[in-house]
Structure 1
Amino acid sequence: MHSDHDTCEVNFDGLIGPTHNYSGLSKGNLASQNNALQVANPRDAALQGLDKMTALLDRGFVQGFFPPQQRPRLDLLRKLGFSGSDKKILNGVARTQPSLLSLVYSASSMWAANAATVTASKDTKDGRVHFTPANLLTTPHRAIEHEETTHCLRTLFADEAHFCVHPTLPSIAVFGDEGAANHNRLCQTHGGEGLYVYVYGRESGAPANLQFPARQTRLASEAVARQHGLAKNAVFLPQSATAINAGAFHNDVVAVANESVLFYHQDAFACGLEQLHEAAARQDITLCDIQVANADVSLNDAVQSYLFNCQLLTRPNSTEMLLIAPQECELNPRVNSYLKTLVQDTSNPIADVSFFNLKQSMRNGGGPACLRLRVVMNSAERAACHPAFLLDPAKIEQLRQWVTTYYRDRLCPDDLADPQLLDESYTALEALTAMLGLGSYYHFQR
């Protein structure tokens, strides 16, 4: 048996890939839409992400990462009837259907919060950590991710004595699943029993009062809970249409939880939280409910600054919590003022805020919380992970050198028609797998 004390939350960040660009593919994600067709800097994007990982590692947190997915995905273009050499295919697509280039080049797998939904071993019948990769079927450029995500998870969490990686839910509209971005685990401590909060945007069909897609369905959330064997410890809450229409395409744009703290905007949910409080009380979780009123931070300010897309973390060997926030929170006067008040309020455990420059990822519509998947594990489970995916200072330095060597510092959507970008991307991924000892990890290597 493992004690609660050897259990901690491990953050696995998506390492931003060499084809990071602004194609504006994500309807309802205002930053993605507003920055469409601008020039991106893949090198800065990846280095900014590594800076955040380094900072957490330096502060004593356990930090891992997911490698970038293979881009471009020429196998998809071949399925669509394009044929010939790689160069001929890219030239043909650029000439006849250029919009497909942004689909097969998208680096959106960087948003690891959408990779999967996770249940800790403490809360499962078989005592294993359970994962369900998300089908992400609402957006075509993300719906192509789940096979590679499953491969990544089954490589990283290969030890079936400790881990179970389920198949994705069927790619049917009523089972739209966006992963952990609509999911939180509440608990007294990470090693204690958890209460799982699933947030959904629609029951099954599309509500009439939405301007943007409601990506997560209740049926999908219920199916994941069923897969993971969660009968009692699950609460299902509807996301408010107001939040979705304001650009909260996932619940993690307007709410975040850590241990017993739920930090959320007044307009995050379409119902009161009585059901959640009752469930927490039944599990002896003393819920610390921090609701941010519109009067303090408007919904628009929350969405633009990504106040709730912060990482909320319990400091190692402490009960104090830390918010990892994007610089946009510091630069927004109302949000910054609210955060100063929050950390001075001793009635909650949030004691500090650290601001990070994540401009490249923020402009594509994702902040610190979007970039990571949280996995609660005990020491035996951490030891059973594939070591290539866990970070230490030496490996972070190797990854920095790799990014600096292989990534462009300028990429605009028109560059996706350049066959040289394919060569650069595959060469980079080949070097990454060699460096990590992963063998023929990518499809193009097999």
Structure 2
Amino acid sequence: MVEPLNIALAGLGTVGTGVVRLIETNAELIARRAGRPIRIAAVSARDRTKDRGFDLSRYTWEDDPSVLASREDVDVVVELVGGSDGPALALARKAIAGGKGLVTANKAMIAHHGLELAAAAEEAGVPLKFEAAVAGGIPVIKGLSEGAAANAIERVYGILNGTCNYILSTMEDTGRDFADVLQDAQRLGYAEADPTFDIEGIDAAHKLAILAAIAFGARLRFDAVETMGVSPVKAADIEQARALGYVIRLIGMAEIDRSNGVTGLFQRVRPHLVPFGHPLAHVDGATNAVVAEGNFMGRLLFQGAGAGDGPTASAVVADIIDIARGEKRAAFSMPAGELEAIEPAPTGHRLSRSYIRFTVHDRPGVLAEITAAMRDAGVSIESLIQKGSEEEGGEVIIAAVTHEGPESAVTEAMRILDGSDSLVAPPLVMQIIAD
């Protein structure tokens, strides 16, 4: 009789309960595909009395999650506690040191401590897996590390946060402003009570850093991800983008930059204008999508549910099945010691077209001041749209689209205008993705 793979599960929130339900519901199918049964040996969570929709009495309960890592009847620890440090990291370290495999959906922990954990797992000869940490149920990590393994990845980018995508696509559909739609997202459960990690781009930056490490064989550099969220985007920006043939999406983008004879790693999360004809323009709601471009495979698009109990639990259990089959590939597609330490790439020389929104006082001379600053910085303006106010002397929105040019020129124009009493608020700059 084939011995089961015994797992211990720390964290019984949305994803954890989804994992239990999935293993219980599809137990026979999972066993056939894994080549052996998957058995939940023990569980741990903060509140034992909470009703989670299934009978907890069939599983051994541990009040202290760290105990799971030392149980002799456990082969793999599944960490679904969350947080970059604290109990999650302590459990991960203890599990690996104790010779247990580790499966996690914790993108913050992997983004901050992934190299350490990967090296420790290799030293201990145990698997470390985190498919569910990026894009929920979309198998993008497996796709990059296995399906695209023979390719030199040139660029990886996409919509990595469902909360932001829901907010932006809802603003697009309804014409409502950011704060109003955010409240709806919180009420519907798409956004947390404290949505900072989502709306300021931090969650997407965690995921992008992980993808970049796998795609380019680079050492994790979360601290090098340039990050801006969606909170500055107004309904007027959505309207202007549509008139110009674009939608606005929060895009995480990473690529190797070899200009000027120096190799650097470019990593950025910020709102972009995406042309209607681009596949990412049609990704709505809380959906995630990742585009990978390889030197032989061309463009691949991975798209699907980026969060939720079912999709994320599916990715977690897929990792467990891989371990049951005996799969032990390196966590970042190659040994941790072989990942390159690539310095962050400078961005000033990057060529792009930009959308720039100015909110200004409605008075003579303001437009001339803006165009003079752009001229002096060497920015070529393709189009300029002014949306007037209903009252004389009120606020006016001016939207400019630039011709392709170095980002340093736009930065210089913003420096020239910094502190101008014509500006009601700092300008918003968003790059435009090419078709």
Between 1 and 2, higher relative CO (CA 8 Å, sep ≥ 6) is seen in 1
**Band the TM-score falls in, shorter-chain normalisation:** under 0.3
TM-score, normalised via structure 1 length = 0.26
TM-score, normalised via structure 2 length = 0.26
Q: Give the structure with higher Rg (CA).
A: 2
